[in-house]
Amino acid sequence: MKKLLFLFLAIPFWTVAQNNDSTWIVNNYTKKEVMIPMRDGVKLFTNIYAPKDGSEKHPILIVRTPYSCAPYGENVFSSYWNSPRKYFLKENYILVTQDVRGRWMSEGVFEDIRPYIPNKKANEIDEATDAYDAIDWLVKNIPNNNGNVGVFGTSYPGFYANIAAHCNHPALKAVSPQAPVSEWFLGDDFHHNGAFMLLDGFNFYSGFGKPRPVPTTVGPKGFAFPTKDNYGFYLQTGAISNFTKLMGDSIAFWKDLMNHPNYDAFWKARNARSNVQDINPNIATLIVGGLFDAEDCYGAWNLYRAIESKAKNNNKIVMGPWHHGQWGRNDGSYLGNAQFGSNTSEWFGKNMELPFFNFYLKNKGSVDQIKEANIFISGANEWKTFAQWPAPNMKMTAYALGKNGSFGLAKTQVTKSNDASAYDEYISDPAKPVPYVPEIHSGRTQEYMTDDQRFAARRPDVLVYQTPVLENDITLAGPVVADLMVATSGTDADFVVKVIDVFPDDFENAKPTNHVMNGYQMLVRGEVMRGKFRNSFENPEAFVPNKPTPIKFTLPDIAHQFKKGHRMMIQIQSSWFPLVDRNPQQFLNIYTAKDSDFQKANIRIYHGASTIQLPVLGN
């Protein structure tokens, strides 16, 4: 869930801590609050932290955010020093945060994922023009700046960083979109392959989406949940139409979500990858993301791909073993029960982020160590660099689902796709959906992306396929493609495919944990596909009941080594709740469905005609 923790630094503090470090920033930096005019007269609230050092001119580093520039007041400093990104202070950067148009203390009207306008007329505005006007004012009005500007941000601010790169101001030299929102129907945040991510969508927009009629320093309050059991609450609330009643009439973007159930012009205009060819070749980009990001894993991988294919600038990618924004926090050595062997967040800051901005904004140091693709391989727990992504020695390799839960290279599977018995089946019951975690939680966890899946494997509505014990290490590095032959007794269904690392029964974790790691089933990647969109996201199609039907979709890239002695496992299910909204298993507009529309369905997976294409990395 998006929170205020994705401001300039990982964790904002509203008052200055009484210690030597906080005293240092007060003694060595000034803070000014200004209203910067945009070309249409709207003024945007901006915080400027500037070093008092006058021995040289300093670069400007900007975050544009809808999550607030707090703390407000020129005598109240953010506790930048308590973050791993304190290196920007040591390097005397001018740090700027700006409330975007229509949020918090800025004037104007806010629009979610405001569409970029390629060929603007007169005073037409978008986030690129606001970025241009802000940069232009800053370089002309901040004393002692060196004329070089960088923009970065994590999550929603990652979207603004990406669009800032489109503004092509001559002072803008380097941009780093991190976990960037790029596509809210296909893969980021609120939809995955057309399926609505209910838990995040309702929880986030019940607060964030509330109107802000006038500038304010007071944030909105979200929905008052009556219980801390999110599974129970979302199941009892029922159909999405009931959530719309709870949301009320004032939240504009929820209405947009409900009014655009298919991939129409509304969503296409908000695809932040569509116009990356407008990025000036002189602007360097560093895309950053987490392999286990529950929100914007899709955005990082696919924004990188889009820039590579359309733009002509210097574009690199860093993907670490992180949840959403974890690289901006103090500890990147683990996520849940998964251990990564070192502080990967600290490594990223010292070896990637700071050298990137120092080189392009200060003409200092080198970026030779920042290769085209800088990818952490979990399992092996080591950083690898590649000249391109996916790597040249990666080969998409078909693994087949087999009888009795087997899983192996397709050529080794003896199956008969026309055999009526060559399928596995389960009953998908919307009244008892498969949970995404076994525990009771109030909010969506970050750790579920590496959670133990044994609780799901034991359910009768989850199919399990696994390899024999591996005789050699297998490294997967790239996209995973699920190519299934399915049937449903209904006219619609969801299909969730999970790639899992099964640990040995005698496994002992290097770091003690309360969780039993013997036989641990670590989620490496999971993704949902709403079946009615199997042929087109624009024009959904009903299933013919009980007719074998192909469904093929791509999961976000993975970078993981399955060690010798482990197993590879695939789990397939038709609900993932309340992470994903329930499918009524009838072909209809799910956003207007009633509780009475939900029905059980018999789901078949024809293992004789189904494969999972895995990105096997060669030696």
Residues 293 and 73: their CA atoms lie apart, in Å, by 33
Residues 377-395 have pLDDT tens digits of 999 999 999 999 999 999 9
Cβ–Cβ < 8 Å for 423, 416: no
* Whole-number pLDDT of residue 137: 98
- Residue 352 reports pLDDT greater than 80: yes
For residue 582, which of 436, 448, 463 has the smallest C-alpha distance?
A: 436
Average pLDDT estimate for 66-89: 90
Please tell me the predicted confidence (pLDDT) of residue 12: 36
Query: Is residue 504 a contact partner of residue 471, using CB atoms and an 8 Å limit?
Result: no
CA 464 to chain centre: 27
Q: What is the mean pLDDT of residues 178-192?
A: 96
Q: Is residue 437 part of a domain?
A: yes
Tell me the C-alpha distance between 306 and 297, whole Å.
Answer: 15
Q: Are 116 and 127 in contact (CB under 8 A)?
A: yes
Are residues 468 and 609 both part of a single domain? yes
> Which of 315-324, 416-425, 512-521 has maximum average pLDDT?
315-324
Assigned token pair, 173:
């030299």
Domain end residue (candidates: 356, 386, 416): 386
Q: Is residue 446 included in any domain, yes or no?
A: yes
In order of 191, 253, 298, 519, 557, the CA distances from 525 in angstroms are 16, 29, 12, 18, 8
Task: Over range 69-91, report the average pLDDT.
Answer: 90
Count of domains forming the chain: 2
By three-state DSSP, how is residue 431 classified? coil
| Mean of pLDDT values over 389-410 | 97
Positive or negative, the Cα torsion across 302, 306, 309, 315?
negative
Same domain, yes or no, for 429 and 344? no
Span of 108-112, 360-364, 407-411, 495-499 with lowest mean pLDDT: 407-411
229, with CB counted inside 10 A (0-12, 13-18, 19+), is middle
Q: Which residues of 169-186 are buried (b: 16+ CB within 10 A; e: fewer)?
A: bebbbbbbbbbbbbbbbb
Considering the domain boundaries, does residue 462 fall inside one?
yes
Residue 257 lies in a domain: no
The average confidence (pLDDT) of the chain is 94
In this structure, the answer to whether residues 369 and 403 fall within a common structural domain is no
Which of 336, 351, 386 is the last residue in one of the domains? Answer: 386
Residues 51 and 111 in one domain: yes
Q: pTM score > 0.85 for this model?
A: yes
Domain shared by 575 and 519, yes or no:
yes
> How sure is the predictor about 133, in pLDDT bands with cuts at 50, 70 and 90?
very high
Least confident of 18-27, 123-132, 371-380, 566-575: 18-27
Residue 602 backbone dihedrals phi, psi, to 5 degrees: -90, 120
Give the CATH number of the domain where residue 376 resides: 3.40.50.1820
Shared-domain flag, residues 157 and 275: yes
**pLDDT tens digits along 44-72:** 999 999 999 999 999 999 999 999 999 99
pLDDT of residue 420: 55
Q: Which residues pair with 378 in a beta bridge?
A: 560
> Helix or strand or coil: residue 267?
helix
The pLDDT score that the predictor gives to residue 248 is: 93
Q: Which two tokens stand for residue 139?
A: 């370089």
Query: Which of 337, 365, 386 is a domain's end point?
Result: 386
Distance CA(341)–CA(332), nearest Å, equals 9
Q: What is the pLDDT, as a whole number, of residue 508?
A: 82
pLDDT for 419 beyond 60: no
Task: Answer yes or no: do 414 and 515 share one domain.
Answer: yes
Give the pLDDT score at 93.
98
What is the average pLDDT across 354-359? 98
User: According to the model, what pLDDT value does residue 17 have?
Assistant: 38
State which residues form the domain around 465: 394-617
* 520 within 8 A of 450, measured Cβ to Cβ: no
Residues 56 and 128 in one domain: yes
Asked if the structure places residue 62 within a domain, the reply is yes
Same domain as 423, residue 371: no
The CATH number assigned to the domain holding 429 equals 2.60.120.260
Which pLDDT band holds residue 579 (cuts at 50, 70, 90)?
A: very high
pLDDT at 514: 83
- Per the domain annotation, does 200 fall within a domain? no
Look at residue 7 and tell me whether its pLDDT is greater than 60.
Answer: no
Whether residue 19 is predicted with pLDDT greater than 50 in this model: the reply is yes
Tokens of residue 373, six digits: 């693709």
Residue with tokens 């003694």: 27
| b/e sequence 340-363, b meaning 16+ C-beta within 10 Å | beebbbbebbeebbbbbbbbbbbe
| 103-122 average pLDDT score | 96
418 pLDDT tier (thresholds 50, 70, 90): very low
318 token code pair: 């860093």
Residue type, 364: K
The answer to whether residues 379 and 417 belong to one domain is no
- Cα end-to-end span (Å), the chain: 38
Cis peptide before 545 (omega within 30 of 0): no
**Cα separation of 487 and 468, whole Å?**
28
- 381 and 464: one domain? no
Local confidence band at 421 (pLDDT 50, 70, 90 cut-offs): low
**pLDDT value at residue 103:** 98
CB atoms within 10 A of CB 230: 25
Q: What long-range pairs does 71-77 form, CB within 8 A, spacing at least 24?
A: 71/12, 71/14, 71/15, 72/33, 72/105, 72/217, 73/33, 74/31, 74/32, 74/33, 75/31, 76/14, 76/15, 76/16, 76/31, 77/16, 77/22, 77/25, 77/26, 77/29, 77/31, 77/49
pLDDT at 238 over 50: yes
Select from 373, 333, 327, 371 the least CA-distant residue to 350: 327
Q: Is residue 221 part of a domain?
A: no
pLDDT of residue 5: 37
203: tokens are 């929880």
User: Is pLDDT at 458 greater than 80 in this prediction?
Assistant: yes
Alpha helices in 171-313 (DSSP H): 198-208, 230-237, 240-247, 252-259, 265-268, 297-310
Mark whether 380 and 428 lie in a shared domain.
no
For residue 10, the model assigns a pLDDT of 36
Running DSSP on this structure, what letter comes out for residue 578?
T
Peptide bond into 460 cis (omega under 30): no
Percentage, residues of the chain above pLDDT 90: 90
E strands, 68-192, are 94-99, 145-154, 172-178, 191-192
249 lies in some domain: no
Q: Is the pLDDT of residue 29 over 80?
A: yes
